[in-house]
Chains A and B, each alone.
Chain A
Amino acid sequence: MNDTAPVIDVVNLSKAFGPKVVLSNVNLQVREGESLVVLGGSGTGKTVLLRNIMGLLEPDSGHVAIEGKIVHQLDREGLFEVRKAIGMCFQMAALFDSMTVFENVAFALRRHTGMTEAEIVDRVDECLSMVGMKGTQALKPAELSGGMKRRVGFARAIALKPRILLFDEPTTGLDPVMTDVIGRIILDLKHELGVTSITITHDLKSAFEIADRIALIFRGECIACEPPDAFKQNPNPVVQQFLRGDADGPFLQDPPPPKRALARVVHNPLQLL
């Protein structure tokens, strides 16, 4: 591993929704060109981690720094500048359903670049070919299958040539073949674009294919973060149970009871309802 400053630096990140602690003191560093895979059971705060990195949520404590800039301290303009360098691929693609595939991929190009319409057409074509969706420009998202939507989502995320790509469960709900296809596309994007990436997934096969390092989040804490081979050998019973995919073990056991607080500070009264 080189000793350059991390591109994505998650420092002591904690986030709770009301009484439910989702992330507590998570530390992760991703260096330039590195591909980090974050594993974890459902509802363990993986998506919340990505949303904190994108600045869609504000941490309760700790911070996320992208290329040295602390995300939640930026003003809107600064935040948008950071986001232009990041391509986010949503779990359900989140394509704009009132627009065609072309308009979806062209969206950021039209708003943030001075490209001519002809250049935009070329760039959209290029992005769609990279994800194997050439020729689908005129279709609406409703006419696409789940796997196709995600690939168009990838094309939209890479349109602005980001330096960082974030994938939120890119293979969840897809058949094994499509899961492999998506895994390969992520690998191709990694090699062709040389981007730094974080991929959140449950799928171990694609995780080991695309990861330079694998992190496991368990009860809001990052309990392991190491290269795939070392991860496989990790003696932690939670890691081993996750790798085996076994129902028996510490993974599903109830967490120890939380320390009782005398009074709970309510930041948002809506959370009480």
Chain B
Amino acid sequence: MLTPLFERIGTHVLRIFDQAGDFAVISGRAIAAVPRRPFDPQNLAKQFLAVGVNSIPVVLLTSLAVSMVFAVQLAYGFKQFQAEGLAAQVNGLAIVRELAPVITGLMMAGRVGSAMAAELGTMQVTEQIDALECLATDPVHYLFVPRLLASALMLPLLTAFSIWIGYWGGYFLLVGVEGQSATIYASDFYKLLATRDLGIALTKGFVFGVIIALVGCWRGYRTRGGAEGVGNAPTSSVVTSSLWILISDFFLTKLLLV
């Protein structure tokens, strides 16, 4: 009676190890393929556009919204202790260290990672990836490398952009609405921060970029089963990469802040 239960548990455990191993092998191949020829500047430029430039509106709106709502809560919270002056400092700390990289990472997992999974998934089920193989082209090199490079390099830039937008979101709320002094806000925003914190934020952006591209491409590359498979690939890539972004954020914060 218990055998089917153990069988099912065993199958799931095996599947998790199987997938983790497969992801590790493919990721290793993708990273090893980065310096390999031929380089494909056209394809790379296309990915930089898709991952970087086209993501600016999304990052702008989410960073603005998050920084403003955070400033509202801080202003309200610190008012309880007559410490409104601390709002700008804590706002700066939260945006640079956590909110900008994590919000940018999560939004990009939804926007870019899912698009990669859907595109590669469609290519897989329509035999285009097999066609690449038959034209003596390594799909991992041709498809993964430009996406990985674009994502790893663009995410830190988008994180920096998100910090800048976050600064002005907080400014609008605390200076414009709450009536704090503009000069004090400008110096307070950076008061609790060191240059190192910007480095940490950009490092997080880089790591999240690598996670998004590798998970998105891997999910797409391993798509099976026609339209249903193509439908599942983006969903699963967003869930997986969001999870790893949040988990790795904790460890990066712990490791880099020490």
Interface residues of A (CB under 8 A from B): 51, 54-56, 76, 80-81, 83-84, 86, 88, 90-92, 94-97, 107-108, 111-112, 156, 268-270, 272-273
The 3 A-B pairs with the shortest beta carbon distances in the complex, nearest first, are A269-B14, A94-B127, A80-B136
Is A56's CB under 8 angstroms from B11's CB?
no
Identify the closest chain B residue to A157 (Cβ). B134
A88 contacts which chain B residues (CB < 8 A)? 131, 134
Chain B: interface secondary structure? Answer: helix
B38 contacts which chain A residues (CB < 8 A)? 111
A112 contacts which chain B residues (CB < 8 A)? 136
Is A83's CB under 8 angstroms from B14's CB?
no
Is A90's CB under 8 angstroms from B130's CB?
yes
Identify the closest chain B residue to A51 (Cβ). B130
Given the contacts A90-B127, A94-B128, A107 and B18 also touching, CB distance less than 8 Å: no
B127 contacts which chain A residues (CB < 8 A)? 90-92, 94
Interface residues of B (CB under 8 A from A): 11, 14-15, 18, 38, 123, 126-128, 130-131, 133-138
Q: How far is the CA of A51 from the CA of B15 in the complex (A)?
A: 26
Identify the closest chain B residue to A109 (Cβ). B135
Q: How far is the CA of A80 from the CA of B141 in the complex (A)?
A: 13
Is A108's CB under 8 angstroms from B135's CB?
yes
Q: How far is the CA of A56 from the CA of B11 in the complex (A)?
A: 27
Identify the closest chain A residue to B129 (Cβ). A94
Is B134's CB under 8 angstroms from A54's CB?
yes
Q: How far is the CA of A112 from the CA of B136 in the complex (A)?
A: 8
Identify the closest chain A residue to B7 (Cβ). A272
Identify the closest chain B residue to A81 (Cβ). B136
Which residue from A81, A83, A156, A272 sits with its C-beta under 8 Å from B133? A83
- 17 extra A-B contacts, CB within 8 A, seeds A55-B133, A90-B127, A111-B136: A54-B130, A54-B133, A56-B130, A83-B133, A83-B135, A90-B130, A92-B126, A95-B128, A96-B123, A96-B131, A97-B128, A107-B137, A108-B135, A108-B136, A268-B18, A269-B11, A273-B15
B14 contacts which chain A residues (CB < 8 A)? 269
Which residue from A86, A94, A111, A272 sits with its C-beta under 8 Å from B137? A111
A273 contacts which chain B residues (CB < 8 A)? 11, 15
Q: How far is the CA of A92 from the CA of B133 in the complex (A)?
A: 16
- Return 11 A-B CB contacts under 8 Å, by A number: A51-B130, A80-B138, A83-B133, A83-B136, A92-B126, A94-B127, A94-B130, A94-B131, A97-B128, A107-B137, A272-B11
A92 contacts which chain B residues (CB < 8 A)? 126-127
Q: How far is the CA of A84 from the CA of B136 in the complex (A)?
A: 6
Is B11's CB under 8 angstroms from A94's CB?
no
A272 contacts which chain B residues (CB < 8 A)? 11
Q: How far is the CA of A263 from the CA of B142 in the complex (A)?
A: 41
Nearest CB on B from A232, distance (A): 33
Is B136's CB under 8 angstroms from A90's CB?
no
Nearest CB on B from A129, distance (A): 21
B130 contacts which chain A residues (CB < 8 A)? 51, 54, 56, 90, 94
Q: How far is the CA of A96 from the CA of B15 in the complex (A)?
A: 32
Q: How far is the CA of A86 from the CA of B136 in the complex (A)?
A: 9
B137 contacts which chain A residues (CB < 8 A)? 80, 107-108, 111
Given the contacts A96-B128, A268-B18, A269-B14, A107 and B133 also touching, CB distance less than 8 Å: no
Q: How far is the CA of A55 from the CA of B137 in the complex (A)?
A: 13
Is A90's CB under 8 angstroms from B18's CB?
no
User: Which of B126, B128, B134, B138 neighbours the largest number of chain A CB atoms within 10 Å of its CB?
Assistant: B134
Given the contacts A94-B128, A268-B18, A270-B15, A107 and B135 also touching, CB distance less than 8 Å: yes
Nearest CB on B from A165, distance (A): 11
Q: How far is the CA of A169 from the CA of B125 in the complex (A)?
A: 17
B134 contacts which chain A residues (CB < 8 A)? 54, 56, 83, 86, 88
Q: How far is the CA of A24 from the CA of B132 in the complex (A)?
A: 28
Nearest CB on A from B6, distance (A): 13
Is B138's CB under 8 angstroms from A76's CB?
yes
Is A90's CB under 8 angstroms from B15's CB?
no
Nearest CB on A from B50, distance (A): 11
Given the contacts A92-B126, A96-B128, A269 and B133 also touching, CB distance less than 8 Å: no
B123 contacts which chain A residues (CB < 8 A)? 96
Is A94's CB under 8 angstroms from B126's CB?
yes
B135 contacts which chain A residues (CB < 8 A)? 83, 107-108, 111, 156
User: Which of B14, B15, B131, B137 neighbours the largest number of chain A CB atoms within 10 Å of its CB?
Assistant: B131
A268 contacts which chain B residues (CB < 8 A)? 18
Nearest CB on A from B133, distance (A): 6
Q: How far is the CA of A246 from the CA of B18 in the complex (A)?
A: 46
Nearest CB on A from B225, distance (A): 11
